[in-house]
Amino acid sequence: MNSSIRSRYFWPAAMLVTLALLAIGLVTVQSTSAQSATAVINTGALNVRSGPGTQFSVVDVVYQGQVVTMIARTTDNSWVFIRTPNVVDGWVNASYIIPSVPINTLPIIGAITPTPTPPPTNTPVPGTTPTPVQPIYATAVVNTGALNVRSGPAPTYTILTAVYQGDILVMLGRNGDGSWIYISTPSNVVGWVNAKYVIPSIPIANLPIIGPVAPTPVPGTATPIPPTPPPTAVPSSAVVTTGSLNVRSGPGLSYSRADGLDYGQYVTLMGRNLDTTWIKVTTPNGKQGWVNGKYIATTLNMNTLPVLTQTGTGIVVTGVLNVRSGPGPDYSILTSAPYGANMTLLGRTSDNRWLRLRAPDWTEGWANGAYIATSLDLNLLPVLAGPVPTVPAVPGVPPGIPPVVPPPVDPGNTASLRACPNTACAVTGSVYSGLSVTATGRSADNTWIFVNVNNGQQGWIPAQYVVLAVPIESLPVLTTPTG
């Protein structure tokens, strides 16, 4: 009987316990459902990192279409702290997920760190207890092809590394006027970048103002000496002002390409050639070479740079210029250069009438200086030969221009005269090697000359077949009628 009574009272009690457990379970499920926020991965593969930035290590990878649980966010909403299907917690870039709730509704946290081990109970030193600082992660995206990271907030500081278009930087501080930002790169290098070339996630003015970071002092040592500021009286750097700039092994277009620079990159100035048309520089990656001075900008007067090579540049201003084995028309022809060719000037005769030079095909020889235009003071070139003997004046030839030395007469070596400056035009006559003709005009590009022959023939002939007694530019430009 007693047993029966115990059984009768026990059943309702068991039911009550079961119902209570079900109720508790129901409440727990409802609470979890209400607080969960999810997101769908919207890229092929997405790294999950140990902190909110690409400089942090990868702890897991999630893939297109997977669902993750969102837990928290950074202050700028650019990174989200999530839990993966593998139950790994970490940070993902918010640009690559589709959230189920607005990201700005998530709680803000800094970098998630493991549960700290209780510190040892050492007696604290009075006045040395640090004030806890909650980390704030503000980021910036590099908005130029390549950007130098420097040791201080100015282009005169040394280059530590470079970051590239699209790289994400962690912003740590700024200088007083906000023109330079102290950052951490994806490879964990800290330094300064020019604020003009990044897109910040928050106003730069919101960053703390800091100076160049000095090394952390070792306890018990003397206070470190602040870094010496760079010299400002004589700037030693220049910025590239063209989209892409070749760095060459020597001061001229004929030299091989040694490196390349992009718009906005800084170089260190080392020296120049005689006429300051080419500048020797050190590139951001430490290579040395020569760049065309037209495509870099600096506050320094580049004429004050040391002259590192006794060369200049000149441009051919006649139809075809012969380069000879010696300084005079009697020497053999080594090669020739067309109108507009760039020549490297190496030296001169003592009277400046003939120049030692290097042609675009790397042949070195002598050419008549009257047919080379240059901004260089020829007296700066080294004297490599004595004066060229003066030739008798010829009526109608400007002073200083030597008379034509005609080639040997060869009636079998002929050239056609044409009705217009083009090989497709009709033939109007012919001339032979060594025949004297009168040049009365030229084409606008200096490649054709209009001549009159003593027998009444006239027409156009390629300039390369004519030896002129005057610079080709002295002839008038003639146009041929059309229609």
pLDDT for 331-358, tens place per residue?
999 999 888 888 888 888 988 889 999 8
CATH number of this structure's domain 312-385: 2.30.30.40
CATH number of this structure's domain 410-474: 2.30.30.40
Per-residue pLDDT band at 291 (split at 50, 70, 90): very high
Q: What is the pLDDT of residue 36?
A: 61
Q: Does residue 87 register a pLDDT over 70?
A: yes
Q: Does residue 32 register a pLDDT over 80?
A: no
Q: What is the pLDDT of residue 299?
A: 65
Q: What is the pLDDT of residue 146?
A: 86
Per-residue pLDDT band at 374 (split at 50, 70, 90): confident
Per-residue pLDDT band at 37 (split at 50, 70, 90): confident
Q: Taking residues 463-481, what's their average pLDDT?
A: 78
When the candidates are 2.30.30.40, 1.20.1070.10, 3.90.420.10, 3.50.40.10, the CATH number that belongs to 237-309 is 2.30.30.40
Q: Does residue 360 register a pLDDT over 70?
A: yes
What amino acid is encoded at 300 in this protein?
Answer: L
Q: Which of 251, 262, 263 is CA-nearest to residue 291? A: 251
> Among the listed ranges 16-25, 56-65, 129-138, 433-442, which one has the minimum average pLDDT value?
16-25
Q: Taking residues 69-79, what's their average pLDDT?
A: 86
Summarised one tens digit per residue, pLDDT across range 259-285 is: 999 887 888 888 988 888 899 999 988
> Among the listed ranges 118-127, 202-211, 337-346, which one has the minimum average pLDDT value?
118-127
Q: Which of 46-55, 204-213, 393-402 has the highest mean pLDDT?
A: 46-55
Beta strands in 249-318 (DSSP E): 257-262, 266-273, 278-282, 288-292, 296-297, 307-309, 312-316
Summarised one tens digit per residue, pLDDT across range 138-176 is: 778 888 888 999 888 988 888 888 888 878 887 878 888
Residue 293 is classified by DSSP as G
Q: What is the pLDDT of residue 332?
A: 92
Listing DSSP states for 170-206 in one string gives EEEEE-TTSSEEEEE-TTS-EEEEEGGGEEESS-GGG
Residue 19 is classified by DSSP as H
Q: State the chain's mean pLDDT as an integer.
A: 75
**Residue matched to tokens 């700024």:** 174
Q: What is the pLDDT of residue 211?
A: 55
Q: Which residues of the chain does CATH 2.30.30.40 include?
A: 37-105, 138-206, 237-309, 312-385, 410-474
Q: What is the pLDDT of residue 11?
A: 39
When the candidates are 1.20.140.10, 1.10.357.10, 2.30.30.40, 3.40.50.1820, the CATH number that belongs to 37-105 is 2.30.30.40
What does DSSP say about strands 58-63 and 244-248: parallel, antiparallel, or unpaired? unpaired
CATH T-level fold of 138-206: SH3 type barrels. (2.30.30)
Q: Does residue 247 register a pLDDT over 90?
A: yes
Summarised one tens digit per residue, pLDDT across range 387-421 is: 876 554 444 544 444 444 455 666 677 888 999 99
Q: What is the pLDDT of residue 400?
A: 45
What is the share, in percent, of the chain residues with pLDDT greater than 70? 75
Looking at the DSSP bridge assignments, the partners of residue 245 are 261
**Residue matched to tokens 């999530």:** 82
3-state secondary structure of 209: strand
